[in-house]
Homo-oligomer: A and B are copies of this chain.
Amino acid sequence: MSKIFASPELALKDVLSDGMTIMSGGFGLVGNPESLIPEIKKAGIKDLTVISNNCGAEGFGLWMLLEARQIRKMIASYIGDNKLFEALYLSGEIEVELNPQGTLAERIRAGGAGIPAFYTRTGVGTIVAEGKHTEIFDGVEYVRERWLKADLAIIKGWKADPAGNVVFRKTARNFNPNMGAAATVTVVEVEEIVDAGDLDPDCIHLPGIFVDRIVKSTLNEKRIERLTISE
């Protein structure tokens, strides 16, 4: 009955299959499931739909799955600064659906919250709204967006207890808790597994009900994309 798994490989055992939809947490490389992504590469599953704000950076994160040609479709907000992605896109090897970042986040939140569709101002009058239902509420036009769900979410937390309660650290929180609630199976890697009672019940970012499997991160490189220093 324990949710704690001994290794990233074991934590992903029996939940990977060709053609599945995977949500992967993180904003750029911050809050990336660094230890889980390489196991998906190793498993060699193909034809994936991946939902993530970005698609990794040269050599890191989801870039690995691009390199191994495992991703068929990417639902993301920003895929710049990624030459491999560009090449695959231009050669027709990968499909991309770009979302405004906030719409992406809310679609994922809606997937976890049982809300199949919602209205937003974001994208009204732009190509994002093309082909979508729009409607006027109180004199203002809104566009309707659908929820996003996944077969699997791989996310990165800071600490987890044995019940699967997870706490995230600073801006590494980002999409992680929302994705954790929107997938059929959620696998969380954390920097530290703590004992029951070590987390403050008033400060749980992702309650254990959303978490199926927990594993201690084997990689915590936390590569910085844009080191910026004040003089």
24 chain-A/chain-B pairs, Cβ below 8 angstroms: A106-B115, A110-B118, A114-B121, A115-B119, A115-B120, A116-B119, A116-B138, A116-B140, A116-B142, A117-B118, A117-B119, A117-B135, A117-B137, A118-B118, A118-B119, A137-B146, A167-B202, A168-B202, A169-B202, A170-B201, A170-B202, A200-B203, A202-B203, A203-B203
Q: How far is the CA of A121 from the CA of B113 in the complex (A)?
A: 11
For chain A residues 109-154, which have a beta carbon within 8 Å of chain B?
A: 110, 113-121, 135, 137-138, 140, 142, 146
Contact with B along A87-122 (1 / 0, CB 8 A): 000000000000000000010001001111111110
* A167 contacts across to B, CB distance below 8 A: 202
- Residues of B contacting A113 in the complex (Cβ-Cβ under 8 angstroms): 106
Q: Which residues of B contact A110 (CB under 8 A)?
A: 118
Q: Which residue on chain B has the smallest CB distance to residue A116?
A: B137
User: Which one of A114, A167, A201 has the highest number of Cβ atoms from chain B below 10 Å of its Cβ?
Assistant: A114
| CB proximity of A168 to chain B, nearest CB, Å | 7
User: CA of A138 to CA of B168 in the docked complex: distance in angstroms?
Assistant: 33
Chain B residues near A117 (CB-CB < 8 A):
118-119, 135, 137, 142
Contact-residue size bin, chain A (C-beta under 8 Å from the other chain): 20 to 34
Q: Which of A185-217 contact B (CB under 8 A)?
A: 200-203, 205
Stoichiometry, copies per complex = 2
What separation, in Å, do the CA atoms of A140 and B114 have in the docked complex? 12
Residues of B within 8 A of A140 (CB): 116
Give the contacts of A19-68 with B (CB-CB under 8 A): none
Closest to A201 in B: B170
Cα distance A135–B133 in the bound complex, in angstroms: 13
Chain B: CB-nearest residue to A137? B116
- CA A73 – CA B200 in complex, angstroms? 39
Residues of B within 8 A of A142 (CB): 116-117
Residues of B within 8 A of A201 (CB): 170
CB A186 to nearest CB in B, in angstroms, measures 20
Q: Which residue of B lies closest to A205 (CB)?
A: B202
From A106, A110, A116, A205, residue with most partner B Cβ within 10 Å:
A116
